[in-house]
């Protein structure tokens, strides 16, 4: 597969550098220290709009000129940002239309960042103009390997600009007010609209009784679509001007994993390479981190992505900002590479001295020396990446299993009034992802538009919103021999969040061979139970009460008035099978169940499962690369099924040899070509 840039010959290593926050006499010392740390790429100009444009018609690039010149002379590549993530104070004072309004109707003043209304004419005018000026000025720098538009786009706005733009968006989508009234079911509670200007934004001033719960889900879901597209247009406008001036430089912006406000599947269509910032919480498991990497690879259609940011030590914004223990920075960096990253980058190069990120980790700490633990770890990893060279660049993950994820479905489920406030879409995705992760089964995360023909297994937990045509996609997949797994609260509504009448699970009913009559929501401490292959498991959160319409019943409830009603069903449909899991259960159940399903599908794990050992595979024209990641505090061993060579230790292995992975350690085994 082609690399994102022909200027890149290895996994790029570096990250955000903000020299404008420091006196110039420190810059030379930074160059020396960063080269010693084996850094080779710097992300520049992320938050410099106020410096670059001190007034409406005045632009001053003198400081950035010096930085760009110094960085080039010292041999660094550059990921150059457009600096439009935070507008200047003068702009907010002169043009208040640029400021956002919060969900509760509160009008923002200047402050923070991401405070620009995405539908502000002022923001559109000046952000595009700045991007154009930067591109024209630095277009001949041959060390620029990527453009970085703005920074971590996000948030929502509920101002008058957005309300007017929302009406225009709706008119374009629905054409007539009658079509809109039908899609939103406005006959309910006398909500019929007669003119477009009667429509108001869905927030705490109108349709919401809580932040995440709406009285008119169709309106709220449409607004979330509109907001995501509005912010995307901000990105696209800068993209277009950059591409017109520097057509050969790839363009990206840093995404944020499972970020609810923006539909990244749509965004990725307009990114030359997907990049993202990995900041897991202290409680996140290795599987949760891996799932975010796989989502970022998935939104990009399976192509390699860029790890744009991670902390080398501690974050600053979590309730408890624990340090990464020795070895964990290296381990998590290679975990990103194992799941598809062609970069290892950090925020930040040098710790700032003031404001909210002064305690966020950095390669160069406030001590300003090379004598810290973090600096030594960064330097050592940089040496390894030099040794690794270009071998893994452009490599992909070949998977036969896929998990379906859709932002529209996420929005619709979690703004719904019922069935349970504890039902969280991402949690249900994770239950199934985690099981395959522990079984060492490679998988892709796919969306509504992705082709399913390469997969043997498709898992779609809580497929509440069954968009028009997607049932046909599933039907074809199963008829042709695929295995489909879905769960409770699936097939309920269409893309407008209107119930699909005729019995649940709606358009999936014939594929699954069941009719779901009722849905019981259990409080947090309550459980039913079922037995699967001789072992009892809990039934939690939701219990669908269903009837077989041709499907085989594999397990039944054991308590309450719906005892003996199906929990797990399996339906033969064409050449394939469709499973329905009518409840949430335990981690042990998901591994047991999906282990059996994978065997039926002919899907094998890369290696035998071992607690704490993560296994992944990437492939390119250079060969196949087996990643072994030890998340435990003890040495692990695993038997290699094929001969290969350890790239980090320069050791040859025969098939059947044991590979040792030290505590928090990593092995990358290049398997012999022509096998597998």
Does the pLDDT value for residue 569 go beyond 80? yes
Active site annotation includes 309 = yes
Q: Which two tokens stand for residue 316?
A: 């600053």
Contact present, 395 and 304 (Cβ < 8 Å): yes
Distance, CA of 503 to CA of 515 (rounded, Å): 7
Distance, CA of 449 to CA of 619 (rounded, Å): 24
Q: Which two tokens stand for residue 605?
A: 């794990």
Classify residue 341 by its DSSP letter: B
Does the pLDDT value for residue 622 go beyond 70? yes
Distance, CA of 132 to CA of 631 (rounded, Å): 45
Find the helix or strand (DSSP H, E) in which 668 lies: strand 666-671
**What are the tens digits of pLDDT across the range 448-482?**
999 999 999 999 999 999 999 999 999 999 999 99
Say how many Å lie between the first and final Cα of the chain, rounded.
19
Query: What proportion of the chain, given as a percentage, has pLDDT over 90?
Result: 96
**Residues written for the chain:** 676
Contact present, 662 and 630 (Cβ < 8 Å): yes
pLDDT, the chain, mean: 97
The whole-number pLDDT of residue 113 equals 86
Distance, CA of 559 to CA of 580 (rounded, Å): 19
Contact present, 448 and 472 (Cβ < 8 Å): no
Distance, CA of 583 to CA of 544 (rounded, Å): 6
576-581 vs 566-573, strand pairing mode:
antiparallel
What confidence tier does 673 reach under pLDDT thresholds 50, 70, 90? low
**What are the tens digits of pLDDT across the range 487-521?**
999 999 999 999 999 999 999 999 999 999 999 99
Helical H segments across 415-466, by residue range: 425-438
Does this model's pTM top 0.85? yes
Active-site pick, 20, 124, 152, 207:
152
Does the pLDDT value for residue 356 go beyond 80? yes
Contact present, 562 and 573 (Cβ < 8 Å): no
Contact present, 182 and 188 (Cβ < 8 Å): no
Q: How far is CA 342 from the centre of its chain?
A: 16
Distance, CA of 506 to CA of 404 (rounded, Å): 18
Instruction: Concatenate the DSSP letters of all residues of 470-517 into one string.
Output: HHHHHHHHHHTT-EEEEESS-S-B-TTS-B--SSBTGGGHHHHTEEEE
Does the pLDDT value for residue 675 go beyond 80? no
User: Helix, strand, or coil here: 274?
Assistant: coil
Active-site pick, 156, 207, 238, 309:
309
The whole-number pLDDT of residue 617 equals 98
User: Helix, strand, or coil here: 278?
Assistant: coil
Paired strand residues for 271: none
Query: What proportion of the chain, given as a percentage, has pLDDT over 70?
Result: 99
Does the pLDDT value for residue 676 go beyond 50? no
Q: Which two tokens stand for residue 343?
A: 């970069």
**What are the tens digits of pLDDT across the range 108-130?**
999 988 789 999 999 999 999 99
**What are the tens digits of pLDDT across the range 299-333?**
999 999 999 999 999 999 999 999 999 999 999 99
What phi-psi label fits residue 85: left (phi over 0), alpha (psi between -120 and 50 degrees) or beta? alpha
Q: Cβ neighbours of residue 443 under 8 Å, at least 6 residues apart?
A: 294, 399, 401, 402, 403, 433, 436
Helical H segments across 185-317, by residue range: 217-245, 264-267, 286-299
**What are the tens digits of pLDDT across the range 41-84?**
999 999 999 999 999 999 999 999 999 999 999 999 999 999 99
Q: How crowded is residue 599: how many other Cβ atoms within 10 Å of its Cβ?
A: 10
The whole-number pLDDT of residue 114 equals 78
Q: Which two tokens stand for residue 431?
A: 């239950």
**What are the tens digits of pLDDT across the range 278-296?**
999 989 999 999 999 999 9
Active site annotation includes 56 = no
The whole-number pLDDT of residue 384 equals 98
Q: Which two tokens stand for residue 46?
A: 């992320």
The whole-number pLDDT of residue 68 equals 98
Find the helix or strand (DSSP H, E) in which 348 lies: none
The whole-number pLDDT of residue 2 equals 66
**What are the tens digits of pLDDT across the range 158-167?**
999 999 999 9
Q: Provide, for the chain, the percentages of residues in helix, strand and coil under a 3-state DSSP scheme, each rounded to the nearest 5.
A: 30, 25, 45
Does the pLDDT value for residue 5 go beyond 60? yes
User: Helix, strand, or coil here: 55?
Assistant: coil
**For residue 472, with 0-12 CB atoms within 10 Å meaning exposed, 13-18 middle and 19 or more buried, which class applies?**
exposed
């Amino acid at each position: 597969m082609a690399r994102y840039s022909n200027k890149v010959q290895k996994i790029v290593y570096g990250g955000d550098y903000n020299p404008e926050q420091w006196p110039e006499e420190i810059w030379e010392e930074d160059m020396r220290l960063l080269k010693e740390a084996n850094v080779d790429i710097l992300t520049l100009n992320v938050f410099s709009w106020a410096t670059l444009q001190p007034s409406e018609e005045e632009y001053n690039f003198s400081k950035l000129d010096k930085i760009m010149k110094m960085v080039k002379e010292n041999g660094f590549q550059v990921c150059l940002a457009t600096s439009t993530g935070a507008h200047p104070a003068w702009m907010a004072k002169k043009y208040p239309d640029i400021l956002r309004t919060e969900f509760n109707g509160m009008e923002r003043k200047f402050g923070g960042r991401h405070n620009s209304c995405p539908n502000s004419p002022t923001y559109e005018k000046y952000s595009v103009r700045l991007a154009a000026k930067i591109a024209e000025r630095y277009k001949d720098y041959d060390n620029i390997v990527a453009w970085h538009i703005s920074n971590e786009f996000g948030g929502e706005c509920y101002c008058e600009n957005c309300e007017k733009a929302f009406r225009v968006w709706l008119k374009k989508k629905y054409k007539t007010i009658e079509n809109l009234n039908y899609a939103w079911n406005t006959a309910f509670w006398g909500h019929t609209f007669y003119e477009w200007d009667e429509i108001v934004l869905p927030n705490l001033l109108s349709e919401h009784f809580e932040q995440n719960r709406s009285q008119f889900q169709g309106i709220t879901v449409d607004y979330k679509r509109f907001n995501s597209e509005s912010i995307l247009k901000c990105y696209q406008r800068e993209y277009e001007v950059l591409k017109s001036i520097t057509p050969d430089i790839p363009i990206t912006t840093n995404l944020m994993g499972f970020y609810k406000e923006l539909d990244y599947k749509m965004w990725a269509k307009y990114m030359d390479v997907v990049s993202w910032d990995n900041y897991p919480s202290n409680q996140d498991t290795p599987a949760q981190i891996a799932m975010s990497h796989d989502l970022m690879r998935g939104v990009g259609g399976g192509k390699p992505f860029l790890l744009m940011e991670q902390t080398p030590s501690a974050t600053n914004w979590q309730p408890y900002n624990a340090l990464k223990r020795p070895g964990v920075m290296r381990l998590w960096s290679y975990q990103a590479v194992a799941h598809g990253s062609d970069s290892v980058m950090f925020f930040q190069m040098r710790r700032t001295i003031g404001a909210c990120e002064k305690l966020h980790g950095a390669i160069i700490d406030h001590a300003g020396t090379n004598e810290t633990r973090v600096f030594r770890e960064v330097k050592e990893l940089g040496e390894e990446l030099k040794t690794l060279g270009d071998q893994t660049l452009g490599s992909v993950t070949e998977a036969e299993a896929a998990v379906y994820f859709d932002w529209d479905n996420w929005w619709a489920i979690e703004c719904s009034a019922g069935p349970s406030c504890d039902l969280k879409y991402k949690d249900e995705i994770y239950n199934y992802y985690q099981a395959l992760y522990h079984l060492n089964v490679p998988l892709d995360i796919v969306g509504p538009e992705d082709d399913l023909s390469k997969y043997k297994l498709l898992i779609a937990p809580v497929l509440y919103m069954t968009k028009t045509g997607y049932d046909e996609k599933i039907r074809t997949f199963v008829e042709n021999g695929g295995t489909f797994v879905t769960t409770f609260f699936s097939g309920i509504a269409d893309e407008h969040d209107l119930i699909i009448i005729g019995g649940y699970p709606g358009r999936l009913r014939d594929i699954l061979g069941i009719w779901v009559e009722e849905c019981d929501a259990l409080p947090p401490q309550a459980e039913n139970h079922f037995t699967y292959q001789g072992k009892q498991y809990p039934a939690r959160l939701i219990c669908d009460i269903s009837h077989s319409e041709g499907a085989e019943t594999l397990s039944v409830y054991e308590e309450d008035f719906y005892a003996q009603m199906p929990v797990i069903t399996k339906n033969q449909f064409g050449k394939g099978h469709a499973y329905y899991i009518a409840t949430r259960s335990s981690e042990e159940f998901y591994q047991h169940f999906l282990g059996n399903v994978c065997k039926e599908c002919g899907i094998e794990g890369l290696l035998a499962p071992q607690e704490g050992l993560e296994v992944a595979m990437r492939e390119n024209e250079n060969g196949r690369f087996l990643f072994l990641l030890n998340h435990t505090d003890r040495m692990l061993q695993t038997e290699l099924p094929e001969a290969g060579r350890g790239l980090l230790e320069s050791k040859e292995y025969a098939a059947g040899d044991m590979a040792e992975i030290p505590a928090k350690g990593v092995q990358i085994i290049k398997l012999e070509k022509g096998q597998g």
